[in-house]
Amino acid sequence: MKIDTTIAKNIHVADDKAKYDAACKRLLSEKIILAWIMKNCLEEFRDCDVKEIANNYIEGTPSVADVPVHPDEEALRSTPLISGMENEDVTMTEGKVTYDIRFLASAPVSGERIQLIINIEAQNDFYPGYPLIERALYYCCRMISSQYGKGFTESQYNKIKKVYSIWICMSPPKNRENSITRYYIEEENLVGTVKEEKQYYDLMAAIMICLGHADSQNYAGILKLLDVLLSTDRKPEEKCHILEHDFSIEMTQSLESEVSLMCNLSEGVERRGIEKGKIYGLIEAYKDDQLPESEIIVRLQKKFSLTENEIREYLKECV
């Protein structure tokens, strides 16, 4: 399977976490990666070939965090952005939601095609101060309600498109590692034996993909693919080898370059994290020794290539 990707042209190597996060989202938005996620997580595509999904069922060009995947090529692009698939939902009463990745897909169901709205989120913190699954379900609800006035109006509820919110959790708790869990609407008869058509209530599902380690159970398929793709430890050559040999993805020069850039970005983020940890540790030690702020600044300037203002920012964070 040959992939013609140009993401490498859009990523600049930098030791900045925001750029690393953006690079992760753009890499995940590649159609071949989305196709692997869709085949392994969405029931509508389980019987489809990955290449078939990438070529035939993902509509338009997925957009990423308010900008196109390839912003510098927009003027030259023959395929327009997905109509109505801005990465923001804004209402006066509910505020603004910005999605990492959102796109339209058509699914082969019962001999005909239905349209789906799919959202992909990359999440580092599994405990951000609230249950993550509640946020995922909220995103589903927003994607349904945002269709009003675009996909349907007034009483045309039969035109509502099914939505998926898929969360890729890179640092889940131990008991959730290497797991994929789906949360969806299901019919249950409390009294009687009524049977309604599934398409009338099967309108949303939230899916949690929790990555793990290679020596853990269930480390295969999409769990292995995403772990390798987003790993901060593996070298570019190792990533390329696994993608090519385990997932039949032929590595083009541009894709190899992209994987290499991702590794450089992750190494830069790791180095900055280690340096920040050292700075915070020294500040706490100096404070325990009751050194005045001016002395702390002088000592840190001798140890690190930082300006006085940068050190003062670190001091504020350690209050």
Containing domain of residue 57, as a range?
A: 7-269
Average pLDDT over residues 229-253: 80
Average pLDDT over residues 13-24: 60
Quick one: pLDDT at residue 254?
A: 56
Residue 262 covered by a domain: yes
> CB of 69 within 8 A of CB of 29?
yes
Instruction: Report the candidate in 120, 117, 130 with the shortest Cα–Cα distance to residue 204.
Output: 117
Quick one: pLDDT at residue 291?
A: 86
Task: Give the H or E element holding residue 121.
Answer: strand 112-123
Residue 310 covered by a domain: no
Quick one: pLDDT at residue 85?
A: 58
For all residues of the chain together, what is the average pLDDT?
A: 78
Residue 45 covered by a domain: yes
Among the residue ranges 17-21, 178-182, 225-229, the one predicted with the least confidence is 17-21
Summarised one tens digit per residue, pLDDT across range 136-191 is 999 999 999 888 887 777 788 888 999 999 999 988 888 899 999 999 999 999 99
Domains: count for the chain: 1
What is the spatial distance between Cα 187 and Cα 1, in angstroms, rounded to a whole number?
Answer: 40
Quick one: pLDDT at residue 283?
A: 84
For the entire predicted model, the pTM comes to: 0.72
Average pLDDT over residues 224-234: 85
Residue 178 covered by a domain: yes
Which stretch, 19-28, 110-119, 268-277, has highest mean pLDDT? 110-119
Average pLDDT over residues 7-29: 58
DSSP state of 148: B
Tokens read off for 294:
């001016």
Average pLDDT over residues 264-279: 58
Largest CA-CA distance found in the chain, in angstroms, rounded? 77
Which stretch, 18-22, 219-223, 301-305, has highest mean pLDDT? 219-223
Quick one: pLDDT at residue 69?
A: 34
SS3 237: helix
Residue 283 covered by a domain: no
Please say if the pLDDT value at position 76 is more than 80.
Answer: no
Please say if the pLDDT value at position 50 is more than 90.
Answer: yes
What is the spatial distance between Cα 116 and Cα 203, in angstroms, rounded to a whole number?
Answer: 9
What is the spatial distance between Cα 285 and Cα 273, in angstroms, rounded to a whole number?
Answer: 18
Sign of the CA dihedral with 272 first, then 177, 126, and 43 last: positive
Residue 85 covered by a domain: yes
Quick one: pLDDT at residue 88?
A: 65
Quick one: pLDDT at residue 223?
A: 96
Average pLDDT over residues 294-306: 80
Quick one: pLDDT at residue 259?
A: 66
The stretches of 42-106 forming alpha helices (DSSP H) are 50-52
Quick one: pLDDT at residue 13?
A: 34
Average pLDDT over residues 200-223: 93
> CB of 308 within 8 A of CB of 301?
yes
Residue 233 covered by a domain: yes
Among the residue ranges 69-73, 206-210, 247-251, the one predicted with the least confidence is 69-73
Angle among Cα 13, 261, 218 to the nearest 5 degrees reads 135
Please say if the pLDDT value at position 14 is more than 90.
Answer: no
Residue 292 covered by a domain: no
Q: pLDDT band at residue 262, thresholds of 50, 70 and 90? A: low
Quick one: pLDDT at residue 152?
A: 79
Average pLDDT over residues 182-205: 95
